[in-house]
Amino acid sequence: MKKLLALLSGALLTTTSFAQQAAVPPATPQYRPAYHFTPTAHWMNDPNGMVYYQGTYHLFFQYYPQGMVWGPMHWGHATSPDMVRWQEQPIALAPDSLGYIFSGSAVVDADNTAGFGKNALVAIFTHHSPEEEKKGQNKHQYQSLAYSLDAGKTWTKYAGNPVLPNPGIVDFRDPKVSWNEPAKQWVMTLATKDRITFYSSPNLKEWTKLSEFGEKLGAHGGVWECPDLFPLMLNGKTYWVLIVNLNPGGPNGGSATQYFVGQFDGKTFTPLNANTKWADYGPDEYAGVTWNNTGNRRLFLGWMSNWEYANQVPTSPWRSATTIPRELGLRQVGSEIYLTSQPVSELRTLAGKATTLQNITVKAPTDLTARLNSTTDKHRLTLSTKQLNDFELVLGNVAGEELIVGYDKAAKQYFIDRSKAGKNNFSPKFTGRATAPRLSTAAGTELTLYLDAASVELFADQGLTVMTSIFFASKPLTSIKLRSAQGSTWQQLSNTPLVAKPASKAPTLGQR
């Protein structure tokens, strides 16, 4: 999700001019991930409409099928039984007389509240009209509906669109809708420029404003986008989490996902405090939201890029991938309650034979490539220690390029340094070193890294600190070295190749 003004230096381009683009660059199969979703070709950004229905995970996404940079937005579509192996489907929603198809969500209308049919899939999305935008009245974004009666194969746009007109707010978009059982109504969480506005509806067609949140809370380095609101349990108590994606203004520059923990009474969201928290501190997780209709599991997926350079990354014939899916939880550290993110258990179906080392002490650079049987750039690394000290995990290749993941004990920061990890001259904003605070107060830790051709995702302290970063090495990063100026001891290091296997059948979940 991104405005034309921000992406294209104020130029309001037509669909025709978007299509008049440079020839597709030479293909870069070395950068294509093995187990992250990416379209076969063309541009992708925000995940949209994520819903679980009749044993299938549906992922819709912002998509431009005529080029490799942002253009008039469609909803692309992919399906999976397990969130691991994806099958790309035909485009679900295309631009029409009301405008481009911007971000939104999808629900299962179990009780036929909208009148489209019992258990209909209903998409709630933002229409963006470039013609209305030219008028300068700030009414060019509004919310609309589409529905599917064949499990998402085909979609019909509601004849009464838009269902929520714009009151005159320049950024009025990205509806995330869910059923609020205590209030017996649908609740829409909508990004409205520099805050979130909540609406309610009995039938998805008629919407009433409930409240606003966040005008003077949280990070405000850029526009608020792609919100999400959901409950999570901690120690037998229900809390509500409000996700707000922000661009720019992230902790390492550009796009990022912030969140608030608090309470929602069906009308108003009240945070526990005003502290700014981030779901992912790395430079390359954005527009992250959660699946609807997944029972007690809260499953999260983000766009693995950054608006600072998303249009310039050197991949072809596609641009962008999603993060791995993550299961969310809550954890208390001191007086603060934090959101945690852990790789979903379904990723274990990819695991090949693990190689594990016990009780490794390092100080000088130690090459562990052979001992860890490292031969691929698509693998999972886990490291555990009883005492976390300074360290650098160096992932290298035959070209001398290095991706460094480590911890600075004095600064109490994890970091990912991609400054020497390959091609980086495509944008001056593709900076090298990203940092994240360590939130845990424990002496030891367990770290998990997922690597997939051109990305790394770090989960530290059981998901309290998470970082995502893309990079573009010229050759696979298959060597593994450890170094620690002060010395570090690891009780266990494990390297697991991640290989393709037949997808498992997804469990049957209750529907709403």
The per-residue b/e assignment along 432-452, b for 16 or more CB within 10 angstroms, e otherwise, is eebbbebbbeeeebbbbbbbb
Peptide bond into 165 cis (omega under 30): no
Amino acid at 275: N
Catalytic residues: 46
Closest of 359, 226, 379 to residue 369, by C-alpha: 379
> Quick check: 126 and 103 in contact, CB under 8 A?
yes
DSSP-derived 3-state class of residue 308: coil
> Quick check: 108 and 117 in contact, CB under 8 A?
no
> Quick check: 193 and 246 in contact, CB under 8 A?
no
> Quick check: 481 and 367 in contact, CB under 8 A?
yes
Laid out side by side, the sheet with 402-408 consists of: 366-367, 479-483, 391-396, 402-408, 413-420, 433-437
Six token digits for residue 312? 């310039």
> Quick check: 119 and 111 in contact, CB under 8 A?
no
Strand partners, 263: 270
Strand partners, 258: 244, 278
Where are the extended beta strands (E) located within 390-500? 391-396, 402-408, 413-420, 433-437, 445-452, 455-460, 465-470, 479-483, 488-497
For 442, phi and psi rounded to 5 degrees? Answer: -70, 150
Q: Which residues contact 493 (CB under 8 A, 6 or more apart)?
A: 356, 357, 360, 368, 372, 381, 382, 383
